[in-house]
Structure 1
Amino acid sequence: MVMALSNCLVLLVLLMALSVPAFSYDSAWRSAHATFYGDMQGGETMQGACGYGDLFQQGYGLETAALSTALFNNGLSCGACFEIKCVDDPQWCIQNAGSIKVTATNFCPPNYSPPNLDHWCNPPQEHFDLSMKMFTSIAAYKAGIIPVMYRRVACSKSGGVKFQTAGNPYWLLVLVYNVGNAGDVSEVSIKGSNGEWKSMSRVWGQNWLTGENLVGRSLSFKVITSDGKALEFDEVAPSGWQFGQSYEANTNF
């Protein structure tokens, strides 16, 4: 009887593990184009349409890209990771350069002003605006724009998922970043100590908002990534948390 119960528990654990969706992506390479911004030191690495702020401080550094409208998905793609390689341009592609991996941290806006009616970031074109360092890792600087192949890949991040707070007692804005695996977040819920889970509204990029006054209460978060995987991060921020601070969970996706 005890052995049978033990076997049932093992089976239940296995079924629960199998029921959690793992990050999956289409391994097929897709065609796009790439340009670059800034300079070799970063140049334009502040804020951006995803709201990550200082990309060096947040841990993204120069391994980043701004996405065209077709890829940006109104900001839901923020945090997703891509592998990119220069192709079909022997004049500008660096031979045997291999590929680069970048995180989506910004938006490359369309430009419909003449003569830019076919601007590379205009829909429906798929385009990456890379940091100069990433661009020149696979192509010559003088190329300006290159044909590339890309595919979605899992994100590898150091440490736990991080939550940065902003706002005032009447509204709390939380930036969710340093998310591993799928990388892009589709839903966030928040819970104050002794409270219930409340869904947060995505304002822009990966900034999520609640109007509940949670000052003086420890904060827990439930995060769901685009692959459907959900994790709970209990009491990430202590009861004495402050606006304008970042808090790191012990785990990641």
Structure 2
Amino acid sequence: MSPSALILQTLALFLTLASPSASHTPTSSSSSSSSPSQSSSLSEWRSARATYYAAADPRDAVGGACGYGDLAKAGYGMATAGISESLFERGQICGACFELRCVEDLRWCIPGTSLIVTATNFCAPNYGFASDGGGHCNPPNKHFVLPIEAFEKIAIWKAGNMPVQYRRIKCRKEGGIRFTIDGSGIFISVLISNVAGVGDIAAIKIKGSKTGWLPMGRNWGQNWHINADLRNQPLSFEVSSSDGLTVTSYNVAPKNWNFGQTFEGKQFES
């Protein structure tokens, strides 16, 4: 092939990678987000990098800094990401949805694909390595750690630490916001999950039939807590997202609710 033909072929492939791509979401037990054609973008494309992990043990899919527990049971499946400190915002970003696409690597990128993931975990800094060395998640790096099943939707696994572009998008969820109640006695902890719209939560209020609206504090990730005796009362929730919208769900939990139960309320528009 002549040098000029090679240049034209490379340019054509570059334009293919740079063009808006179709959504390619990993299969999960429920929809984790919306495709770009069905939701409005919250931000422009920005540069980051992405690596992957291989879940050799099923327990690797349980836990995480956002507190969602078993990601399959929570409906997130493999469409998830751990994100670096520069993006994590001390847990505020938990539940937000991102679209990722592979760029700048003609050898390893899969052209014409993008991936939609929900932020469910934190990639901690490793200050034993430089930010441009092994410290992938050190500030100021923007970094995503994906399950290998998700990574392989946009790049060949041998690529390793890949340059990507990302943007915030609205989340699309099936069903309503889920409230998982835990705790003991007058200590109540509520995990908020399956949130549509911008996905991340800025404030929660809870109300019993014998109380007014009581603000809850963020314990960690999307776990919120309060010290109040709300036993033997139906519970209502007021959920405010980071874009200033509020959804109120009345009498979500019945009077005879118990710790460990999950209830479903209203939902944000996606």
TM-score range for the pair, normalised by the shorter chain length? 0.7 to 0.9
Deviations 1:118-160, CA, capped at 9 Å, x for gaps: 4110001101001111101100111111000010000010000
* Gap change, CA 1:143 and 1:135, over 3 Å in 2: same
The aligned residue for residue 167 of structure 1 is: 183
Equivalent of 1:38 in 46, 50, 54: 54
Pair 1:93-2:73 in alignment: no
Residues 64 and 111 (structure 1 numbering): CA distance in 2 closer, same or farther, change over 3 Å?
A: same
CA contact (8 A) 1:32 1:127 kept: yes
Q: Determine whether 1:131 maps to 2:147.
A: yes
- 2:94–2:120 contact (8 Å) kept in structure 1: yes
Q: 1:72 aligns with which of 61, 76, 88?
A: 88
Instruction: Assess, with a 3 A threshold, how the Cα gap between structure 1 residues 249 and 108 changes in structure 2: closer, same or farther.
Output: same
Q: Distance in 2 between matches of 1:95 and 1:251?
A: 35
Q: 1:149 is matched with which residue: 129, 149, 165?
A: 165
3-state SS, counterpart of residue 44 of structure 1: helix
Aligned residue pairs, count: 230
Q: Which residue of 1 aligns with 2:200?
A: 184
Supply the AA of the counterpart residue of 1:212. A
* 1:48 is the counterpart of 2:64: yes
Of the three residues 206, 212, 218, the one matched with 1:202 is: 218
1:233 matched to which residue of 2?
249
Contact 2:50 2:162 in 1 (8 A): yes
Cα distance in 2 for partners of 1:113, 1:204 equals 26
Inter-partner Cα distance in structure 2 for 1:152 and 1:250: 23
Structure 1, residues 13-38: CA drift from partner, whole Å, max 9, x if none?
A: xxxxxxxxxx9754410000000123
Structure 1 pair 103–41 and aligned structure 2 pair: CA distance change class (3 A) = farther
Query: What SS does structure 2 have at the residue aligned with 1:208?
Result: strand
Amino acid at match of 1:112: Y
Task: Provide the secondary structure at the position in 1 that maps to 2:152.
Answer: helix
Q: Report the CA distance between 1:114 and its aligned residue.
A: 4.2
Show structure 1 runs of 5+ residues with no match. Answer: 1-22
Structure 2 distance, partners of 1:134, 1:77, is 20
Taking a change above 3 Å as real, the CA distance of residues 114 and 154 of structure 1, as seen in their structure-2 partners, is: closer
**143 and 43 in structure 1: CA distance in 2 versus 1, 3 angstrom threshold:** farther
Alignment-derived partner of residue 4 in structure 1: none
Query: What do the CA deviations read for 1:167-199 (whole angstroms, capped 9, x no partner)?
Result: 111200000000001100000000001310000
Distance 2:49 2:225 in 1: 34
Amino acid at match of 1:108: C
Structure 2 counterpart SS, 1:133:
helix
In structure 2, C-alpha distance between the alignment counterparts of 1:113 and 1:214, rounded to whole Å? 47
Secondary structure of 2:149's counterpart equals helix
1:41–1:60: structure 2 CA closer, same or farther, 3 Å change rule? Answer: farther
CA deviations over 1:62-92 (Å, ceiling 9, x no partner): 0000010000000000000000000001111
- Identical pairs, percent: 47
- 1:102 partnered with 2:127: no
Match in the other structure for 1:18: none
What's the secondary structure of 1:232's corresponding residue? strand
Question: What amino acid does structure 2 have at the position aligned with 1:209?
Answer: H
Please give the TM-score of this superposition, normalised by the length of structure 2: 0.81
- Preserved contact between residue 108 and residue 121 of structure 1 (Cα < 8 Å): yes
| 1:45 positional shift | 1.3
> Does the aligned pair in 2 maintain the 1:52–1:177 contact within 8 Å?
yes
Q: Is the 1:109–1:122 Cα contact (8 Å) retained in structure 2?
A: yes
- C-alpha change, 1:24 and 1:92, in structure 2 (3 Å) is closer
How far is 1:113 from its partner?
A: 1.4
- State the superposition RMSD in angstroms: 1.8
Please state whether the residue corresponding to 1:39 is helix, strand or coil: coil
